[in-house]
Amino acid sequence: MNATPAITALDLAAFNAAYARAIDSDTLEAWPAFFTERCRYRITHAEAQAEGLPGGLVYADSRAMLEDRIAALREANIFEPQRYRHILGWPHLLAADGDSAQAETPFAVVRTMHSGEQMVFASGVYIDRLVRGAGGLRLAERLVVCDSRRTDTLLALPL
Amino acid sequence: MNATPAITALDLAAFNAAYARAIDSDTLEAWPAFFTERCRYRITHAEAQAEGLPGGLVYADSRAMLEDRIAALREANIFEPQRYRHILGWPHLLAADGDSAQAETPFAVVRTMHSGEQMVFASGVYIDRLVRGAGGLRLAERLVVCDSRRTDTLLALPL
Amino acid sequence: MNATPAITALDLAAFNAAYARAIDSDTLEAWPAFFTERCRYRITHAEAQAEGLPGGLVYADSRAMLEDRIAALREANIFEPQRYRHILGWPHLLAADGDSAQAETPFAVVRTMHSGEQMVFASGVYIDRLVRGAGGLRLAERLVVCDSRRTDTLLALPL
């Protein structure tokens, strides 16, 4: 009996690199496929998280909702107004077996405006639950906890 | 005779990810345990380092001193005034065997103030000497060389 | 017949860490040796890249040109005017075998001025083609695509 080898931090690093690349290279339509069909994607901030507040800044519980979000972004942003660059840290594995994993990964995002101006737009941590299926790793849940409650996520690209 | 496999960059990346998480998730009390009982933790900046100046901005030579430092921080910062996010690069291994390793790891820290404002607070390099014991990897020495001599480390969280 | 194992993301991460260290520790003279004798090093920005514009901000097609560039920088910058800190993401492997690899690696660079002031100087992605020879990995091509068209690369250190 050959057990599937457990998911490693190296697997997650490769997954996260592909995830960030989909957003930062403006191939946003590829982004929802990093999630399972039924999934949970939420953006919140550290204070709300610490106080157990329910309201995320962004909330989706299916891949279809993520696809809608991208369609809406494309409609709103006819002239590409900004560009993101995700810089991700090394995934901290909390649990892993052959089928699933839980991990936390720190992130920072540099935003470049159309004018060329650059700034740190967001930092925080991904709190993830992933599953491995026939198509490889997928996010069953990604909770994006931003460090700042000021991070403007309404019109923003995905984090 | 089975020699212990040498410490790898992958081992150090996992160690550093856990180290940064202890600070950034505000579980500072876990931070001193990343060091050996007798250790060396020093924060300095590149100019002082280049000129061979002795004075570090922060200096500790035992885990007990690191614990004192955390206790003092907790007392001073009743209302959490800031939040850090460490973004670490890949460890550059200088030497490694089964028991110890020397490595350099670049870092940047994004600071988030209570107001929500965010900035690059510090960048630099960790110059490390680690040992592996029964409890896993521990820092025998971490020299934090900040790129800027202006980085204010007096009241700050650990780097 | 033992085929050489394919180049891995881990190999590239170690290579990139050494590359960034050569620049950030001010041992610039070591930088050209990360490239093959005949190579292609180009800095451009995302808009120019998207529009297929030919003009890179910086262009070199041999290691000798890279050496000239470093010599010129040394001459111009008698008093070290700035310091870089590269923070690199995990390499996204596009193709790899035992002899060569193609990969994309995101980067951000924090610049520290002599005054101590720090800022995000550049972000973007390396689009690389590497070969493995007797001396290890070398860049046959590194295309540095900056996110901002404002990134001032004329007098700058290498990215």
Helix axes C9-24, B9-24, angle to 10 degrees: 70
- For residue C156, being part of any structural domain is answered with no
- Complex prediction ipTM: 0.93
- Tell me what pLDDT residue B56 has: 64
- For residue C136, being part of any structural domain is answered with yes
Q: What are the percentages of helix, strand and coil residues in chain C, rounded to 5?
A: 25, 45, 30
Q: Is A135 exposed, middle or buried (0-12, 13-18, 19+ CB in 10 A)?
A: exposed
For residues A83-98, give the mean pLDDT: 97
Nearest to C149 among A24, A116, A120 (CB): A116
The helix (run of H) or strand (run of E) holding residue B75 is helix B63-76
For residues A105-133, give the mean pLDDT: 95
Mean predicted lDDT score pLDDT of chain B: 91
- For residue A158, being part of any structural domain is answered with no
C contact test, residue of B49, B148, B150, B151 with most C CBs within 10 A: B148
Is the pLDDT reported for residue B132 higher than 80? yes
Nearest to B86 among A106, A122, A150 (CB): A106
- For residue C134, being part of any structural domain is answered with yes
Task: Give chains near A: 3+ CB pairs under 8 A.
Answer: B, C
pLDDT band at A75 (very low <50, low <70, confident <90, very high): confident
Interface of C with B (CB under 8 A): 10, 13-14, 16-18, 20-21, 24-25, 83, 85-88, 108, 110, 112, 115-120
Mean predicted lDDT score pLDDT of chain A: 91
- For residue A152, being part of any structural domain is answered with no
Task: Show residues of chain A in contact with C108, CB under 8 Å.
Answer: 85, 87, 108, 110
Q: Are C20 and C30 in contact, with CB atoms under 8 Å apart?
A: no
The ranges of chain C with pLDDT < 70 are 1-2, 54-56, 77-80, 153-155
Number of structural domains found in chain C? 1
pLDDT band at B41 (very low <50, low <70, confident <90, very high): very high
**Nearest-5° Cα angle at C35, C30 to C38:** 130
- Quick check: helix, strand or coil at residue B83? strand
Structure tokens given for C117: 């002031």
Pairing of strands C100-113, C82-88: antiparallel
Is the pLDDT reported for residue B122 higher than 90? yes
Chain B residue with minimal CA distance to C114? B148
| Domain enclosing residue B30, as ranges | 9-146
For residues A150-159, give the mean pLDDT: 76
High-pLDDT (> 70) share of chain B, %? 92
* Closest CA of chain C from B44, distance in Å: 13
Query: Quick check: C106 and A87 CB within 8 A?
Result: yes
Nearest to C88 among B89, B104, B123 (CB): B89
High-pLDDT (> 90) share of chain B, %? 69
Q: Is C135 exposed, middle or buried (0-12, 13-18, 19+ CB in 10 A)?
A: exposed
- For residue A38, being part of any structural domain is answered with yes
Query: Cα–Cα distance between B154 and B156 in angstroms, integer?
Result: 6
- For residue C59, being part of any structural domain is answered with yes
- Tell me what pLDDT residue B101 has: 98
For residues B62-73, give the mean pLDDT: 93
* Closest CA of chain A from B131, distance in Å: 21
Query: Quick check: C21 and B104 CB within 8 A?
Result: yes
CATH number at residue A45: 3.10.450.50
- For residue A124, being part of any structural domain is answered with yes
